Amino acid sequence: MIIRIVKLHFEKENISSFERIFKETREVIRDFKGCRHLELYQDTVDPSIFFTYSKWDSEEDLEAYRKSDFFMGVWARTKMLFTEKAEAWSVKHVHSIN
């Protein structure tokens, strides 16, 4: 399993548009083959910064999603709202404590 973290910077006036896009597409993303978990976070200091956090069965499943027509359409709509290029990391879980 891999975890994908994506950092997104938006124009302040575009935040509601992004939230609308996410709300419209989140269930389709979550139901995509291999996606096990999806969350959206907003920075506590700068509300124009968001993070998506998703868990995928494999790198292949994530890549299939990223190459899908669905992703291409959502990404085209979303990146028009950015103030700077998105940053993304694929990481693996190492340890947790509760």
Class of domain 2-91: alpha beta
Going from N- to C-terminal start, the domains of the chain cover 2-91
Question: What predicted TM-score, i.e. pTM, was given to this entire model?
Answer: 0.93
pLDDT of residue 52: 98
Task: Give the pairing of strands 2-10 and 49-56.
Answer: antiparallel
- 61 vs 14, 24, 52, 65, 69, CA distance in Å? 30, 21, 17, 6, 14
Quick: pLDDT tens for 52-84: 999 999 999 999 999 999 999 999 999 999 999
Quick: pLDDT tens for 14-34: 999 999 999 999 999 999 999
